[in-house]
Structure 1
Amino acid sequence: MLSEKDFISSQYASIDSAHFRWSAPSNIALVKYWGKKEHQIPANPSISFTLNHCKTITELSVKRKESKDTFSFDLLFEGQPKEDFKPKIQKFLERIETYCPFLKEYHLTINTQNTFPHSSGIASSASGMAALAMNFMSLEKTLNPSLSDKYFNQKASFLARLGSGSACRSIKGEVVIWGNHQETNNSSDLFGVEFTSIHENFKNYQDTILLVDKGEKQVSSTVGHDLMHNHPYAAQRFAQAHENLSKMKAILSSGNLDKFIEVVESEALTLHAMMMTSMPYFILMKPNTLEIINRIWKFRKETKTPVCFTLDAGANVHVLYPQNTTEKVLEFIKNELVAYCQNGQYICDQIGTGAKSI
């Protein structure tokens, strides 16, 4: 089992300059991670679908500099300087310094963009930190060509986690498990591991994201996770997540769509229940979120179509369904659900395979 020490770079060469470009997708958790310990360690394991179209594309240019005392970087978002993003990148660099000490030897120019609309209500921290971590690993591989592909991906996931917890699930795989889980070999709190035993029913699974509220998050992820400390139901929730992860693995392997719906929707509502029962407490769903959920339930009951919803810590709704029901579900979405989206906006996505070098 790998430990943090295994990811410390001790052997690397030096170069004058280099340029890399990676894309990394967002992901949507089926079993939710909510609550964390120090150093971005999850309080419970989670499992997620990696998305395909909702991704961040990040270019990294490095140029050797004289001083190695501090980090030096420029940050561009869609080609324009983005000063308000810089503190988060600075904090990320400080967190990973032990594992990537070579970064201080270079001036970094980071140019990033999202394929989904900015402030669309879709979390970009997972895709953004994953894309940046892949670029940093490309630099490390240039400095130390002996790195194996397996180590490259594991360390990229490890680094991404230190930027944003769920980012570790955006590196590799259609389905990724993150967090120690007794029934999952090689599972780790330090990085995500690919889950490969996926039934045909879940191949090319669809995710249409209904943008109910595109405003700034009511509660930041960090604050939300912290609310699990001393939460009256935290212990039960963490135990439930372990049980549901075991169930979800069996479901994804067997292709049982009915059980998939049960666990995914229960997990989504449990996440919001934890927020509503924390202190202070929050209601992150909007009236239109509830309207959409009720209409999905009604449609599923009347048509027997295996469509379900999940939620992140916000008001937007992810509508999940098998590829062979796409035409029917999209017609339903356009006819009944789009009216509850802000400016009628929604994004069609599906399962993807992770980060890619461009």
Structure 2
Amino acid sequence: MDTQNFIPKSLKNSIENASHTWLTPSNIALVKYWGKSEPQIPKNASVSFTLSKSHTKTTIDFTRTEKVEIPEFDLFFEGKKKDDFKPKIAKFFERILEYCPYLLEYRLTIHSENSFPHSSGIASSASGMSAIAMCLMSLERSLCDVEISDEFITKKASFLARLGSGSASRSIEGPLVVWGKHEAIEESSDLYGVQFPYKVHSIFENYQDTILLVDKGEKQVSSTVGHNLMHNHPFAKQRFDQANENLERISKYLQNGDINSFISLVESEALSLHAMMLTSNPYFILMKPNTLEIINAIWRYRNVTGSNVCFTLDAGANVHVLYPENEKENVLQFIEEQLSQYCQKNQYICDNVGFGAKKL
């Protein structure tokens, strides 16, 4: 799709005040993307499970005002004014202004809250930016003289969200979303996420993800900085090739139910992501000692029991424990008895695959 299609052609000006609220989820990538070019174009394709309970709730109040030169807004996070979050949102609005020119005619008051700790490696920017994008599209729908389809709303919201946070493009829909052009995935695009287009084997339906909160503090190195370090990374090309090959492989596993190969690939992808951090210049480590304790405990448990449990990691210390729904009782017992000791205050989030953004 040509990006020009996302520029509104006909808007009416009769709405003085509006308020829209959306609940949008985080997601956990199975094949990771790490490295991008401007404007927010991934160096390799990725695929993720959309989550259900790990989400951001955002309300935007729009008040019509005299036209301004740059978007004006106030931001409240979990009830408190957060001016330190504003530069990232301002940059986002700057990037999308061509596609949302009505931003210059409204003052925005943004109220946002997470169901999980912010900046701890549970893709808070993904759920946060996608929630803002959906609120903007709700306003755009009411401003347009012509009817806008749900399909267009979803596609443009993903396109907009990507310009705030690449992974946010994968949080609009579910349960599996691909972002990045890839010949093995029909209709895939670098500009927005698309639903995984093929029938998924029943073993992957309602897949479970228990997130072990190893470290709820803010990451020492942001994902933005980490992505930028891939520009001169000595293993960048090999990593991008590996990820694209893995996406084609995991597409087959998701369809044929080869869960052993799925487990091997997902864990390898997680470790490859962190290997890029370990070998960048400057290098850094986001895993914590308890991250490694959990990984080794999962490997021991799987060897002893024959379970299909596995782990993945995002750009942080927390561990996502993935497993089929039919193992839920046993795996949760394992987590409570053995893994929770490695979490801050024994805390973890029981989540599962979800279906994307919801209007409230």
Report if the CA contact (8 A) 2:78-2:113 is conserved.
Answer: yes
Deviation at 1:285, TM superposition (A): 1.3
RMSD over aligned CA atoms reads 1.1
1: CA distance, partners of 2:121 / 2:45: 24
Deviation at 1:120, TM superposition (A): 5.2
Q: Which amino acid is 1:147 matched to?
A: I
2: CA distance, partners of 1:186 / 1:119: 32
* TM-score normalised according to structure 2 size: 0.97
Deviation at 1:278, TM superposition (A): 1.2
Task: Specify the alignment match of 2:337 in structure 1.
Answer: 335
Task: Specify the alignment match of 1:160 in structure 2.
Answer: 161
Task: Provide Cα deviations, 1:31-79, integer angstroms capped at 9, x if missing partner.
Answer: 0000000111001000000000000001111111123333121111123
Q: Which amino acid is 1:151 matched to?
A: F
1: CA distance, partners of 2:250 / 2:133: 28
Task: Specify the alignment match of 2:310 in structure 1.
Answer: 308
2: CA distance, partners of 1:70 / 1:210: 40
Task: Specify the alignment match of 1:256 in structure 2.
Answer: 258
Deviation at 1:121, TM superposition (A): 4.7
2: CA distance, partners of 1:231 / 1:86: 30
Report if the CA contact (8 A) 1:121-1:211 is conserved.
Answer: no
2: CA distance, partners of 1:231 / 1:89: 28
Report if the CA contact (8 A) 1:121-1:215 is conserved.
Answer: no
Task: Specify the alignment match of 1:282 in structure 2.
Answer: 284
2: CA distance, partners of 1:50 / 1:63: 32
Report if the CA contact (8 A) 2:75-2:81 is conserved.
Answer: yes
2: CA distance, partners of 1:58 / 1:283: 32
Task: Specify the alignment match of 2:129 in structure 1.
Answer: 129
Is 1:76–2:76 an aligned residue pair? yes
2: CA distance, partners of 1:316 / 1:142: 40
Matching residue within 289, 297, 300 for 2:299: 297
* TM-score normalised according to structure 1 size: 0.97
Q: Report the CA distance shift for 1:60/1:116 in structure 2 as closer, same or farther (over 3 A).
A: same
Structure 1: gaps (5+ residues): none
The 3-state SS of whatever aligns with 2:59 is strand
Identity %: 62
The 3-state SS of whatever aligns with 1:163 is coil
Structure 2: gaps (5+ residues): none
Task: Provide Cα deviations, 1:123-173, integer angstroms capped at 9, x if missing partner.
Answer: 311000000000000000001151111111000000000011100000012
Matching residue within 239, 251, 261 for 1:237: 239
The 3-state SS of whatever aligns with 1:160 is helix
The 3-state SS of whatever aligns with 1:348 is strand
2: CA distance, partners of 1:152 / 1:230: 37
2: CA distance, partners of 1:244 / 1:92: 31
Task: Specify the alignment match of 1:320 in structure 2.
Answer: 322
Deviation at 1:275, TM superposition (A): 1.0
Report if the CA contact (8 A) 2:58-2:132 is conserved.
Answer: yes
Task: Specify the alignment match of 1:267 in structure 2.
Answer: 269
Q: Which amino acid is 2:211 matched to?
A: I
The aligned runs of 1:50-65 (5 Å cut-off) are 50-65=50-65
The aligned runs of 1:170-185 (5 Å cut-off) are 170-185=171-186
Task: Specify the alignment match of 2:29 in structure 1.
Answer: 29
Task: Specify the alignment match of 1:224 in structure 2.
Answer: 226
1: CA distance, partners of 2:355 / 2:285: 33
Report if the CA contact (8 A) 1:157-1:167 is conserved.
Answer: yes
Report if the CA contact (8 A) 2:185-2:196 is conserved.
Answer: no
Q: Which amino acid is 1:260 matched to?
A: F
The aligned runs of 1:2-13 (5 Å cut-off) are 2-13=1-12
Aligned residues: 357
Task: Provide Cα deviations, 1:80-114, integer angstroms capped at 9, x if missing partner.
Answer: 22211111111111110000001111111111111
2: CA distance, partners of 1:181 / 1:290: 33
The 3-state SS of whatever aligns with 1:39 is coil
2: CA distance, partners of 1:322 / 1:31: 18
Task: Provide Cα deviations, 1:174-227, integer angstroms capped at 9, x if missing partner.
Answer: 000000101111110000000142111111100000111112112111110111
The aligned runs of 1:98-117 (5 Å cut-off) are 98-117=98-117
Report if the CA contact (8 A) 2:119-2:219 is conserved.
Answer: no
Greater mean deviation of Cα atoms: 77-86 or 323-332: 77-86
2: CA distance, partners of 1:221 / 1:283: 12
1: CA distance, partners of 2:106 / 2:207: 41
Q: Report the CA distance shift for 1:112/1:83 in structure 2 as closer, same or farther (over 3 A).
A: same
Greater mean deviation of Cα atoms: 126-135 or 335-344: 335-344
1: CA distance, partners of 2:110 / 2:280: 38
Greater mean deviation of Cα atoms: 281-290 or 171-180: 281-290
The aligned runs of 1:142-153 (5 Å cut-off) are 142-144=142-144, 145-153=146-154
Report if the CA contact (8 A) 1:228-1:278 is conserved.
Answer: yes
Q: Which amino acid is 1:218 matched to?
A: Q
Report if the CA contact (8 A) 2:120-2:317 is conserved.
Answer: no
2: CA distance, partners of 1:95 / 1:30: 28
The 3-state SS of whatever aligns with 1:157 is helix
